[in-house]
Amino acid sequence: MTSALFQLVTPAEALARLFERLPAPRAVERVGLTEAVGRWTAAPIAAPEPSPAFVRSAMDGYAVRAADTFGASEGLPAYLRVCGETPMGRAAELPVAPGEAQLIHTGGMLPPGADAVVMVEYTQPIDDDAIEVVRPAAPGANVVQAGEDLQPGDLVLPAGQRLRAQDAGVLAALGITEVEAAVRPRVGVLSSGDEIVPPQAAPGPGRVRDVNSTTLTALARAAGAEACAYGVAPDDRAELERRARAALAACDLLVISAGSSVSARDVTADVIAALGAPGVLAHGLAVKPGKPTIAALAGGTPVFGLPGNPVSAMVVFGLLVAPTIARLLGAPSVPEPRLTRARLTRNLSSQTGRLDFVPAALTRRGGEWWAEPVLGKSNLIATMVRASGMVRIPLDAGGAAEGAWVDVERF
């Protein structure tokens, strides 16, 4: 390890060092559409057939020969004889002869002879057998041609696209009911610290319950991984390494949250460095809170050492671990956080060259969001329960003034 590793790096730099060394794409599996939503396509998906497969009406109205409507107006309507109704869900066989119109519904197949649809709003019934048309329809009006949407072989979704509900719907329309996606990575979460006991335990004197197993497991699931908590290890190098190796053997990504003492962090750093090559890629993040962070790769498996403070651990999870999970799931780039613009209720100072996150409560005043920083002593309830998001003070901003617009990452 060179000393460069121990200079503070930006989250982008830490991810770049990690991603350029990650092994080739992971195993893919075929999954049903509902299970595929939220995951990234592992291969491009082409249309197997034209869409639509037949000429369809895009409106409720009458299938006509466009030429029969040319020149039609309110003052001089075209009179057409109604030749029945186009069936839904069957081939339209009854032709439309010159001077005729056939009642048709949205999605109905255009009958032979017809080349346009007149919207029902532009027609007027004369009697059971005839209508007036008060506007002309151009050939192809209100009609979707076969293959107009997609031709066989057209790209529907590129590889590396995150599937949303409607993308799955489009695949269903094309008869594609399974998708290739990377197998969900298994994320191991290991807490450490002599002062930490599991949430179920009664902490003795000087001890506190483990928070990070709960928060980080929940965040890993929300990021699309399978998550498994590996309990709490003591600040003992041999025991922590044994527990870390056991988790590593079963996981595709390992997160260790360090004990809060300096020596505990040193133990964690030593253990992570020993887990496998290439080892530590970044040690120290130019982020507040989140500086005592380690990003490493051990035999192809990403390993993160996160700060023990629950708020810091959550911040770094969002900056490094969630994007790495997305990468393992096939995301081609780091997903952009969805930021809410809000105005600050007070000045915030920040150090240039450092990305700062400040917990804040969002309130709506008129049409604007205002972010009220939750300051004071680090306090679980105030910073974690009352805050509705984290104000992001960019790397080179050097703070933000009261009333300034800032980006808030909402929880």
Kindly identify the residues of this chain, within the stretch 17-76, that bind its own copies according to CB under 8 A. Answer: 33-34, 37, 51-54, 58, 60
Site for its own copies in 255-274 (CB under 8 A): 259-264
Query: Contact with its own copies (CB under 8 A): which of 144, 255, 303, 331?
Result: 144
214 binds its own copies (CB under 8 A): yes
Site for its own copies in 285-304 (CB under 8 A): none
Query: Contact with its own copies (CB under 8 A): which of 165, 249, 250, 375?
Result: 165
What is d(CA 58, CA 362) in angstroms, rounded to the nearest whole number? 44
Nearest Cα neighbor of 315 from 283, 355, 374, 262 is 355
Nearest Cα neighbor of 31 from 155, 222, 163, 173 is 163
Name the one range near its own copies by CB under 8 A: 67-75, 124-132, 240-248, 375-383: 375-383
SS (H, E, C) 187-211: EEEEEECCCEECCCCCCCCCCEECC
401 binds its own copies (CB under 8 A): no
The residue type found at 265 is R
Question: How many chain residues bind its own copies (CB under 8 A)?
Answer: 92
Query: Contact with its own copies (CB under 8 A): which of 68, 100, 115, 194?
Result: 194
Is there a contact between 63 and 81 (Cβ–Cβ < 8 Å)? no
Name the one range near its own copies by CB under 8 A: 9-17, 94-102, 217-225, 273-281: 217-225
Is there a contact between 318 and 285 (Cβ–Cβ < 8 Å)? no
What is d(CA 152, CA 295) in angstroms, rounded to the nearest whole number? 45
Is there a contact between 298 and 281 (Cβ–Cβ < 8 Å)? no
In the bound complex, what is the minimum distance in angstroms from residue 147's beta carbon to its own copies? 12
Nearest Cα neighbor of 83 from 99, 102, 67, 60 is 102
Site for its own copies in 314-343 (CB under 8 A): 314, 338, 340-341
Nearer to its own copies, 211 or 281 (CB): 211
In the bound complex, what is the minimum distance in angstroms from residue 299's beta carbon to its own copies? 28
In the bound complex, what is the minimum distance in angstroms from residue 176's beta carbon to its own copies? 8
The H or E element that residue 116 is part of is: strand 116-119
The H or E element that residue 362 is part of is: strand 355-365
101 binds its own copies (CB under 8 A): no
Name the one range near its own copies by CB under 8 A: 8-16, 164-172, 243-251, 273-281: 164-172
- β-partners of residue 407 are 341, 392
